[in-house]
Structure 1
């Protein structure tokens, strides 16, 4: 199997960093789609956050225990075959100690067997699907990004569901969307709320006309509070839905947070409530203060949604390297299981059973402010990790 992955790497590794590091460095591979998808903006934010995280966690030295950190960056092009080949190359030819990626849940899922084959750690960031720490995962996979269950349990809490709530969902037809809706249904279970329709669209859909008609038909005659819950990435579903005149049927919209450019469309729905993974004004801790200050100073803008995730993954790695007595995979796995580490969102902890990082989410209400280009997801309250019953994916302790 390793020979197969290596052969694929030779054919597809178009963006590999040339040359190998010296023995006094520790190599970390960052594999993300940097071309070929609207999601590449997420990858670039993650990359920026990762470098800032390394800087913060090492006090600017970019060293751990006297060894320089070498970052190897590879473009997966959002293609599973390319991602598998580049990960094999990172573990093999580049001798990376740890790899981080991918942006797409579907691509990240395809990478899991490579980590198991090479017996090296893959830290998933920022892909979201629950399946990344599920039955098809393995003991070498850790995940700093939130998962679909966190998104949806927080979203359900923000909607305050009861028997008066009727919901229809709109999601993309791949791992991210389907895992999200599955988690949302689980979050509503036992609340009395009614899920009346599920709509799935291709990943890069632009025409929502027929979809909106079906969602409207499913909800308009329901007797209680009526909500369309949107769970998409990389496309604007808010604008067509907000412009569809749904208010004549008393149909509301709700969705999770997003990157700042996507939040511009949220100006059309002031007062909308939902849950968000990160907005730079929500967390109150020294790490986030530093991130906001430095990002504003260096880039002229606040840090965005995935910048925080990239920083969290880097801080997790540095924490593990500092704590581990040795840097072999088995020692690192043992060190990281149950490990608590600082991030811009506050502390996260890798759950020993499936290596998912447990973390807070934020209930927001959309506010439109003069002089702000995007809609502001004003903080209603922090939803602590212990408030959410996140299903265990794969039990790595068995």
Structure 2
């Protein structure tokens, strides 16, 4: 009897374990990788954004009735660590897809991993054009508007400035190099009379702002393109203000209007810079109002652009999974190519030809209000209006 009881008990234990495994199998896992410890000003709001999205998705019934679970890892700002994290998520966690990344070099590293291992990858933030063009692959899609798109938006305004002598300041890695190259190309096409008189390439996260400002001032440009962000931007602005670098000069700047980077400038915010950004306080659309209300209710805080990126990355991943009706990689790719979906900025589409989303950006000018930096005269630029034609993309992107 004792032996029989043991075997019956063991059988029930095995059955319970099997039921537990089945319940877990009902969850759909997404792997998420980002530079949380390196860039908290962006990645913490980003994390809040995707956590809100997960909550909303599961409250609405999940993905075809299955619960969505996000397994997140920190890459520490290192491409090798990001690839290690990607491998752990795929091999140990059994995720259906990879999402995330911030720095462009890390996005490219995970994209290369996805291509080699045949895993679906939705790049959230990396902006280098190489992600969808020169180093694009069938497994990689990107949410945010690329360097090309944001440069085209900025050039639209910058090309109307009278300035002819331009200098550039950008971090010396993939993102900065890509942004400067495409801005110079598009700007010179619209304004062949422009001269590029100086380039400064400080290391990312380690700018020595004094010598950079001095070198630019010696070149005596009429206008400056800035691509620095985060603490580097604060140091550059402080030193530039002290030395009068920006007086009487036009400045065009990638990303500076994003609250993550504008807020820390406070009363040092320079006025009149032409920037891309996110003026959350002045966007009056039903889609954004709904997002803003939900975000503020959950976190008792205002969103940053990272909040939008994190939120929409997981919303997009869920839409792709729901359409595919499967976690099979080829079915996910087929579902993602050409898919349209709502976003806080309006409807977006992931283009079939290059896997770039048509999410846009706001362009406006910097100003101060009550001792804080704000974005004024901002208007939303649809991403679809600033992308090259299919014929041009075919020349830029390798065949899968």
Residue 99 (structure 1) shift? 1.0
CA distance in 2, matches of 1:89, 1:262: 32
Contact 1:162/1:191, CA 8 A, preserved across alignment:
no
2:227 to 215, 231, 237: 231
Measured at CA, do residues 169 and 114 of structure 1 come closer, stay the same or move farther in structure 2, by a change above 3 Å? same
Partner of 1:148: 147
Measured at CA, do residues 165 and 349 of structure 1 come closer, stay the same or move farther in structure 2, by a change above 3 Å? farther
Partner of 2:59: 60
Partner of 2:324: 324
Secondary structure in 1 aligned to 2:67? Answer: strand
TM-score normalized by structure 2? 0.85
Residue 338 (structure 1) shift? 1.3
CA distance in 2, matches of 1:289, 1:244: 41
Partner of 1:223: none
Contact 2:42/2:306, CA 8 A, preserved across alignment:
yes
Cα RMSD, aligned residues only: 2.4
5+ residue gaps, structure 1 = 1-18, 221-225
Contact 2:135/2:398, CA 8 A, preserved across alignment:
no
Secondary structure in 2 aligned to 1:357? Answer: coil
Residue 304 (structure 1) shift? 0.3
Please state which structure has a larger fraction of its residues in helix. Answer: 2
Query: Which structure has the larger Rg?
Result: 2
Secondary structure in 2 aligned to 1:238? Answer: helix
Partner of 1:111: 110
CA distance in 2, matches of 1:152, 1:348: 19
Partner of 1:294: 294
CA distance in 1, matches of 2:212, 2:361: 29
Contact 2:28/2:69, CA 8 A, preserved across alignment:
yes
Secondary structure in 2 aligned to 1:30? Answer: strand
Residue 268 (structure 1) shift? 3.5
Count of residues in Structure 1 that have an aligned counterpart in Structure 2 = 369
Secondary structure in 1 aligned to 2:225? Answer: strand
Contact 1:278/1:308, CA 8 A, preserved across alignment:
no
Q: After alignment, is 153-162 or 86-95 more displaced?
A: 153-162
Measured at CA, do residues 60 and 374 of structure 1 come closer, stay the same or move farther in structure 2, by a change above 3 Å? farther
Partner of 2:253: 255
CA distance in 1, matches of 2:85, 2:331: 25
1:34 to 24, 33, 36: 36
Measured at CA, do residues 365 and 258 of structure 1 come closer, stay the same or move farther in structure 2, by a change above 3 Å? closer
5+ residue gaps, structure 2 = 1-20
